Amino acid sequence: MTTADTIAALDRGEVRVAEPDGDDWRVNGEVQAAILAYFRERQMEPREVGPFEYHDKIPLKSGYDDLGVRVVPPATARYGAFLSRGVVLMPSYVNIGAWVGPNTMVDTWATVGSGAQIGADVHLAGGVGIGGVLEPPGARPVIIEDGAFIGSRCIIVEGVRVGREAVLAPNVTLTASVPIIDVTGSEPVEHRGYVPPRSIVVPGTRPKEFPAGTYHLACALIIGRRSAATDLKTSLNDALREYEIGS
């Protein structure tokens, strides 16, 4: 398959940068390599879309009516990103190689980076930043699994995986090195790069000693789990209110 064939297959959703493999995910490094090659092979070209002018290497995605996708101006998705039926793009941005599942909302000024995998029935709230990961080929992209609710201004980068139906409160920042600490039991349980399914996560800090004194570094706290009765469409406010925390 040529580079152009691979990007066309990405755009149609026939191949993915990463895909579920049992309880884990399998990364398709050859697809990531094809995206990088596509950038090298393409030339800058001007493009006019109504009153807007662009100058870029990658065409814009098209055919939203046939896809059954709602796109609110001036939302942008690049060719090579796949949007499933029922996706809603408020004024937002979806980069090449990203995969967005059915009935997911990408809210205003949210960004979905290169190769990111966003599941079905996900809500990326206003200003969410989902990082892109393409290098080195084989590196895991950011993965947001089905039914997750990502609160406003959250930042998720460096291949972090958010489990199904998890709820992140506003302003949670997750990188591969940020501790994600489950404080629901008698002893803390620490995760890195992974939010377990149905977790309720809020921003936190923990103290660290330095030569100049004790300072608090950012972490994330798992403070509970979504109850079995919680509908997938339950709002972030409702999920946090259950634990007496406002959004």
158 touches 139 (CB < 8 A): no
Specify the pLDDT at position 49: 84
Residue 32 has pLDDT above 80, yes or no: yes
Specify the pLDDT at position 201: 97
Residue 195 has pLDDT above 70, yes or no: yes
Of 47 and 10, the structure prediction assigns the larger pLDDT to 10
In the structure, what pLDDT confidence band is assigned to residue 242 with cuts at 50, 70 and 90?
low
Instruction: Give tens-digit pLDDT for 99-140.
Output: 999 999 999 999 999 999 999 999 999 999 999 999 999 999
Of 155 and 228, the structure prediction assigns the larger pLDDT to 155
69 touches 81 (CB < 8 A): no
User: CA 116: distance to chain centroid?
Assistant: 6
Specify the pLDDT at position 1: 83
Q: How many CA atoms lie within 13 A of 182 on its CB side?
A: 16
Residue 9, SS3 per DSSP: helix
141 touches 27 (CB < 8 A): yes
Place of tokens 């990502």: 150
Residue 149 has pLDDT above 70, yes or no: yes
User: Residue range 144-156: average pLDDT?
Assistant: 97
CATH number for the domain running over 3-175: 2.160.10.10
Instruction: Give tens-digit pLDDT for 50-103.
Output: 888 999 999 999 999 999 999 999 999 999 999 999 999 999 999 999 999 999
8 Cβ contact list (under 8 Å, min separation 6): none
12 touches 83 (CB < 8 A): no
Beta strands in 102-233 (DSSP E): 105-106, 111-112, 117-118, 123-124, 129-130, 143-144, 149-150, 155-156, 161-162, 167-168, 173-174, 179-182, 189-192, 194-195, 199-210, 213-225
Specify the pLDDT at position 52: 85
Specify the pLDDT at position 231: 57
203 touches 172 (CB < 8 A): yes
Specify the pLDDT at position 50: 84
pTM of the predicted model over 0.85: yes
User: Residue range 3-14: average pLDDT?
Assistant: 97
Residue 234 has pLDDT above 90, yes or no: no
Q: What's the whole-number average pLDDT of the chain?
A: 93
User: Residue range 16-24: average pLDDT?
Assistant: 95
Residue 237 has pLDDT above 70, yes or no: no
161 Cβ contact list (under 8 Å, min separation 6): 25, 140, 142, 143, 145, 193, 194, 195
**For residues 194 and 68, what is the distance between their CA atoms, to the nearest angstrom?**
32
Q: DSSP letters of 202-214?
A: EEEEEEEEETTEE
The phi and psi torsions of 139 (rounded to 5 degrees) equal -70, 140
Angle made by CA atoms 139, 39, 53, in degrees to the nearest 5: 125
Specify the pLDDT at position 83: 98
18 touches 139 (CB < 8 A): no
